[in-house]
Structure 1
Amino acid sequence: MRIVITGSSGLLGRHVAAAAVAAGHDVLGIDSVPPPAGSGWRHVTADLTDLGIAMQLVRDADAVFHIAAIPRPTGRAAAEVFQTNMALAYNVIEASALSGVTRFVYASSFSIFGYPFFTNWPKQLYLPIDDNHPAGPQDAYGLSKWLGEEMVQAAVARGAFTAVSLRMPWVQTPEGFAGQIGPRRASGDAGRDLWSYIDARDAADAFLLALQAPVEGHARVMISAADSYMDEPTAELAERAFPDVTRNPMPGFASTFDLDNARRTLGYEPRHSWRDYPTS
């Protein structure tokens, strides 16, 4: 299958592109910067905030994985984050719709629920979070991801393609985990992201599952690791952080996200845990 992957040089994008190539697909990666040497897929360096360029590059694709985005609302002006992410999403979705793409997979985020970049703690109704929980973004990044899902929905409603939006927490790799998660644990702010993460390899698997899943319309699916990134039982963490929130069973170090919808819809089952990462 011919797959266009936007954002293919980033942390998530290059894992998804590599997995797609390994699965035998014809991959065109598009990013504002080149991929690592020896990436194994065709690449075009391009600015997809230009609709004409997006149209030209997507026109021969069977499927599109849209990953390109400014990945957080920090270090850049909020207006730039929002404008860039919205332009990217609109142009890639519109180009895909006009080009006859049959399956669109969108890299969404758990930030649509308000985490972790909130100003006021999100109104949490229950834990673990499932895909029926109301969205509640507060920042430019989370809002851009939520509106991206809505743009996908609008395209699906007019019969453009079938689609899957993958809602992901913090993407991690064995190489980067200690350097990123260690400071977060020590800061006392770990609850801001619900102690959640996903291994990049599991995220890549989910994109390939989303490519083939028997989805009609638009499926919005939460994916994550099966566990939290903490050494303390999840129920104890949640009791302290959310004493007034309904808490359903989260045994052991379970994730704060309910993956039942991902299992039913995609056949997704996370295979990787930080607990198995090399220690040196």
Structure 2
Amino acid sequence: MKRVLVTGADGSIGRAAAIGLYADGYDVTGLSLRYDHVSTADRPLVGDARSPDDVAAALDGVDAVLHLAAIPHPSLGTPEEVFENNVAATFNVLSQAGQRGIDRVVIASSINAFGVPMNVNPVVPAYYPLDEDVRADISDAYSLSKSVDEQSARMAWRRWGTNVIALRFPLVKSRKDLLRFAAKAESDPSIMAREGWAYLDLRDGVAAIIAALESSVTGAHVVGLAADDVLIDRPTDELLREYAPTVPVRRPVAGRDALVDTSRARDLLGFSPRYSIHNDDHTVSAITS
């Protein structure tokens, strides 16, 4: 694997991924509707991930694909726009990559794929820690689009034998932006209760992407991601008692333990998060390793 296509290349994760891939020795083709930032991709292209012609041109000489292009929140378009854009782009990229015999595609799914965090109804998760099999309850177009994207990944594997990893990203930002977001969330922790106060440092997001691209695992897999701790600077069991008292907890929690099960990321991809906003850039495990 030498050249990787990154769709959504001018988004925050896309830009960071292009930098990380370049640093690891990969050639990068970028595809974005526009570029508002300088791109490190050696082949930056302007185009739409929904367009067969644009994606076909972008796939020239590509060995693997990182598909990030999407409308990232239900508030950024009508339900029809959000759903149609995200599902059409993912299916177009997967189908064209599959027909070209490209062996590996990594797509951006979301912690919202099971629907509860953005649900308009007063629902709660079936249990904590959240895992990839938690029961879905979807009431918004964005969450539905991510759920369908995961199904599209399975279809691509069955139809073309394309190996697809769908990464369920939580809140992903730089350390500076995470600290800013955490300060706001501290004033009302209930706003993140249904996603288990999950977050991921952008550097860990890039590391997970590269691990997925370089993985030898076959098939189509959904992989949940999160830091090893919660975003709020309070004990996890205290947060649960106050903001999610009715949700079953399947394993004991201590300190600021995370409420997302990331064992599949470790087992399939060999990935474990390194960074925490609570410990001077690194988690304890990273410092002692």
Calculate the aligned-residue CA RMSD, in Å: 1.7
Q: CA deviation at 1:38?
A: 5.7
> Whole-Å Cα distance in 1 between the matches of residues 29 and 116 of structure 2?
32
> Are the aligned partners of 2:138 and 2:144 in contact in 1 as well (CA < 8 Å)?
yes
Identify the residue that residue 140 of structure 1 maps to in structure 2: 141
Structure 1's 263 and 193: CA in aligned 2 closer, same or farther, altered over 3 A? same
Structure 1's 98 and 35: CA in aligned 2 closer, same or farther, altered over 3 A? farther
> Whole-Å Cα distance in 1 between the matches of residues 39 and 141 of structure 2?
35
Superposed counterparts of 1:1-280, under 5 Å:
1-34=2-35, 36-37=37-38, 39-188=40-189, 189-247=191-249, 248-276=251-279
Structure 1's 64 and 122: CA in aligned 2 closer, same or farther, altered over 3 A? farther
> Are the aligned partners of 2:111 and 2:170 in contact in 1 as well (CA < 8 Å)?
yes
TM-score (norm 2): 0.90
**AA aligned opposite 1:23:** D
**Aligned pairs, number:** 278
Q: CA deviation at 1:86?
A: 1.3
- Superposed CA deviations along residues 175-203 of structure 1, whole A, max 9, x for unmatched, are 32233332233244232432111111101
TM-score (norm 1): 0.93
**AA aligned opposite 1:251:** A
Mark the runs of 5 or more structure 2 residues left unpaired by the alignment: 282-289
- Superposed CA deviations along residues 228-266 of structure 1, whole A, max 9, x for unmatched, are 111111122122333232212222111110111111111
> Whole-Å Cα distance in 2 between the matches of residues 244 and 192 of structure 1?
12
Structure 1 stretch displaced more, 208-217 or 170-179: 170-179
> Whole-Å Cα distance in 2 between the matches of residues 29 and 277 of structure 1?
33
> Whole-Å Cα distance in 2 between the matches of residues 70 and 38 of structure 1?
20
Q: CA deviation at 1:277?
A: 5.3
> Whole-Å Cα distance in 2 between the matches of residues 103 and 38 of structure 1?
23
**AA aligned opposite 2:9:** S
> Are the aligned partners of 1:115 and 1:192 in contact in 2 as well (CA < 8 Å)?
yes
Q: CA deviation at 1:35?
A: 5.5
Tell me the SS of whatever aligns to 2:245: coil
Percent identity over paired residues: 32
